Structure 1
């Protein structure tokens, strides 16, 4: 706010830097995603809605929960999703896969009831009130994660499934099937180095083969 001169700010380059420990990123396997897809859930249940939100995020390369919940019908045009990312304000354009179109069809009858949003979480929230929007998204994320735990139990998946795990799951299943340049575009990373470091969490075949080559005697 301009109250204090920037030179007095103690953090940043050549100043105090806080180093966070590297987090362990674990995604679901293709078989586990199929198990979630194939669950028979009551369409009126919270679990059914939660599965739709999670799968839509996964099908679109793991878009973040805030971007999913703020998605509007006007963002869906000509078979593409166009939206502005919350994290870095980048404009994104993605083809809408058939599986996403199926999920959208479930919510289309309620198009006029959710203030233009695809999903109902932000219904009635003033979009100009950023604090209110953030609070609702945080609470919705907690609720979705609660029901994802129930979904994991029903699907017999022994992993902690959260909304953010959809992003890790895309990374895990994509593995080394897609070029790092294409993954950079799908992840919307500014730097390809970020993509390489991120994807290193999920590509282990070469390391596994190297280990076997040494101890297989």
Structure 2
């Protein structure tokens, strides 16, 4: 007994979407061919085994489903005609064509998934990485059988020597290649035996980065700096507000609304992971709020996003990126006037909070302030600023 049918996986993935697959049953043993597409549960027509027209790409996905069904049925029919014994796994393997084994074809599907999730900032970054990989190869097609450790190492050298990228940035490129390779394995477009990453192969490991924040004296200098232009005062207000709220990210600072402040507390949803956050409003923040310009039509604390459709994710990312760049330019000038020779940027506010908090606050409380999902993340982040114990240990050895 054999059958082939579209199948929607009931268990959602990390994006809360349900993968679409082709279920092949032969001799009562099922095998699943994943199509690299995932949708919401209410976008699936279970009766007809199709994607509903509420999905923006329903026509293309349904054509893909029909194509895969046709291939699977042909394999079953040919096996019956030739009286061959084919298992569901062998049928699945036969369905993988050379075209589907092309890295850039799978990469295109990967980028399309990012676009469908409206992660346009990520889309721009990942698209550029795929383009650079193609530039390195000097060809438009690359079979997964051609991707090995030697090729990965050559690409690494190209990024380091020809494009002068940092090792951390190089690792990000490798993660993109690894992600596409993993997707190909899931889709049966690549053999897991060819996988060039992991133990004994090419390791994906981020090098340690130096995080240097301001100290209390430097924060005080910023709070009392004089002779600033209006634009510089505005940028400093954004920086200090970020610092006072335990290093709130610049994207969240720019999206703060006046209505988010209720009964001397701030209530907002984090842009990065959609977590709801509630924080007490420090007295120093009230001073900033009183200085910011506001009229009856004002929505946001900072004017950069006024009139912007926040549902237009691509335009929103662009506007935030532009505003951050302008803030950072002004912050460099402010640092000079305050006599600070450390690097100044909006993100340094987060490092500064970590530097000053040091080991004064229990790690569990810091996790809540940083809004980290895991305390392990907090421990790793905070380790950049915990130097007291190592300093004391060094003094005990050399001070004799």
From 374, 382, 391, the equivalent of 1:191 is: 374
In the alignment, structure 1 residue 207 sits paired with structure 2 residue 390:
yes
| Aligned-pair CA distance for 1:10 | 1.4
Instruction: Identify the residue that residue 249 of structure 2 maps to in structure 1.
Output: 64
Q: 1:131-170 deviations in whole A, cap 9, x for unaligned?
A: 1111000010000000000000000100111000000000
What does 1:122-201 align with in structure 2 at a 5 Å threshold? 122-201=305-384
| CA spacing shift, 1:184–1:70, aligned 2, 3 Å | same
Instruction: Identify the residue that residue 80 of structure 1 maps to in structure 2.
Output: 265
Alpha-carbon distance between aligned partners in 1 of 2:304 and 2:359, rounded to the nearest angstrom: 35
In the alignment, structure 1 residue 31 sits paired with structure 2 residue 217:
yes
**Partner secondary structure for residue 296 of structure 2:** helix
Alpha-carbon distance between aligned partners in 2 of 1:70 and 1:184, rounded to the nearest angstrom: 22
Q: Do the aligned partners of 1:41 and 1:47 also contact (CA within 8 Å) in 2? A: no
Alpha-carbon distance between aligned partners in 2 of 1:173 and 1:196, rounded to the nearest angstrom: 15
| Aligned-pair CA distance for 1:207 | 0.2
| Aligned alpha-carbon RMSD (Å) | 2.1
**Partner secondary structure for residue 351 of structure 2:** helix
List alignment gaps of at least 5 residues for structure 1.
Answer: none
Instruction: Identify the residue that residue 10 of structure 1 maps to in structure 2.
Output: 181
Alpha-carbon distance between aligned partners in 1 of 2:224 and 2:216, rounded to the nearest angstrom: 12
Instruction: Identify the residue that residue 279 of structure 2 maps to in structure 1.
Output: 94
Instruction: Identify the residue that residue 110 of structure 1 maps to in structure 2.
Output: 294
Q: Do the aligned partners of 1:65 and 1:163 also contact (CA within 8 Å) in 2? A: yes
| Aligned-pair CA distance for 1:45 | 1.3
**Partner secondary structure for residue 10 of structure 1:** helix
| CA spacing shift, 1:113–1:40, aligned 2, 3 Å | farther
Equivalenced residue count is: 212
Alpha-carbon distance between aligned partners in 2 of 1:166 and 1:11, rounded to the nearest angstrom: 36
List alignment gaps of at least 5 residues for structure 2.
Answer: 1-35, 38-60, 62-105, 111-178, 184-191, 198-202
Alpha-carbon distance between aligned partners in 2 of 1:111 and 1:182, rounded to the nearest angstrom: 37
Q: 1:97-139 deviations in whole A, cap 9, x for unaligned?
A: 01001111122x514343x101101112111111111100001
Alpha-carbon distance between aligned partners in 1 of 2:217 and 2:287, rounded to the nearest angstrom: 20
Alpha-carbon distance between aligned partners in 2 of 1:173 and 1:35, rounded to the nearest angstrom: 15
| CA spacing shift, 1:55–1:205, aligned 2, 3 Å | same
From 206, 221, 237, the equivalent of 1:20 is: 206
Q: Do the aligned partners of 1:111 and 1:117 also contact (CA within 8 Å) in 2? A: no
| CA spacing shift, 1:126–1:171, aligned 2, 3 Å | same
